[in-house]
Structure 1
């Protein structure tokens, strides 16, 4: 299985295959609007604004697995847009860890290890995926999205 075999659902309920992003580097991030790290939305948006025309996609996946998110993906996405000016795609709420983890996060965490092994440690864990669908690097929740610039530029 590759990332392109996985379907995801936008906050409005529309499902699509990640194959749509074949050939594009991706930043995939689990988000939470009530998290102390939510200031990273601004930095993620800046990455998106800076590199989107060159092919970068940023995909946000809200999760309440750490009890810091609103009740559904639509509310979370609206809060991101209103509070942080987010224009990159936001998706429905997903589980990150355990037997109910979304297949996307099962794949991402199986290909890159973090402090807690394959589990997602906290909100705003960021995964960088190349245009071939390979997970290139995992960034810790506390890592600023701006620390990803050099790695992103290598993939563009």
Structure 2
């Protein structure tokens, strides 16, 4: 299995086959609107616009999550409005999900199993954990919430080559 074998639901409530991103490099991120890392939306959007403008080979996929300090309490519509108004987000955003526990989204279970964190832990520690996925749908690297999107740009560039 790889990332392209999963489905998710858009913020608008529509099913999305992640196979539609086959052949693209992805940066998959769990997000939140009321987190100390929320300003990373700005960096995500900047990296997205710069690299996406070169051609359709790169996408950022945002997955809101409310499992960390109740930092994403809004509805999907409220999340979308917040991201657009405050950060001008144009990259694809998905419906709110769980990334840990029994109800974790299958994509996130796969990401965690494929690219465990420090000392082999699979659990997502906080909002804005990032996974870089290659054109083949396999995880290249997992990044901590403290890693800013701009710091990942070189790795994304390599994956795009």
Same fold, judged at TM 0.5 (above) = yes
User: Which consecutive segments of 4 or more residues in structure 1 shift more than 6 A?
Assistant: none
Q: Which residue of 1 aligns with 2:61?
A: 59
**Count of residue correspondences:** 156
Q: Which residue of 1 aligns with 2:75?
A: 72
Q: Which residue of 1 aligns with 2:145?
A: 141
Structure 2 residue runs without a partner (length 5+): none
Q: CA deviation at 1:115?
A: 3.1
Q: Which residue of 2 aligns with 1:100?
A: 103
Q: Which residue of 1 aligns with 2:123?
A: 119
Q: CA deviation at 1:75?
A: 1.2
Q: Which residue of 1 aligns with 2:15?
A: 15
With the length of structure 2 as denominator, give the TM-score of the two structures.
0.94
With the length of structure 1 as denominator, give the TM-score of the two structures.
0.96
Once the two structures are superposed, the pairs formed by residues 37-56 of structure 1 within 5 Å of their partners are 37-53=37-53, 54=55, 55-56=57-58
In structure 2, C-alpha distance between the alignment counterparts of 1:102 and 1:10, rounded to whole Å: 13
Structure 1 residue runs without a partner (length 5+): none
User: What RMSD, in angstroms, separates the aligned Cα atoms of the two structures?
Assistant: 1.0
Q: Which residue of 2 aligns with 1:24?
A: 24
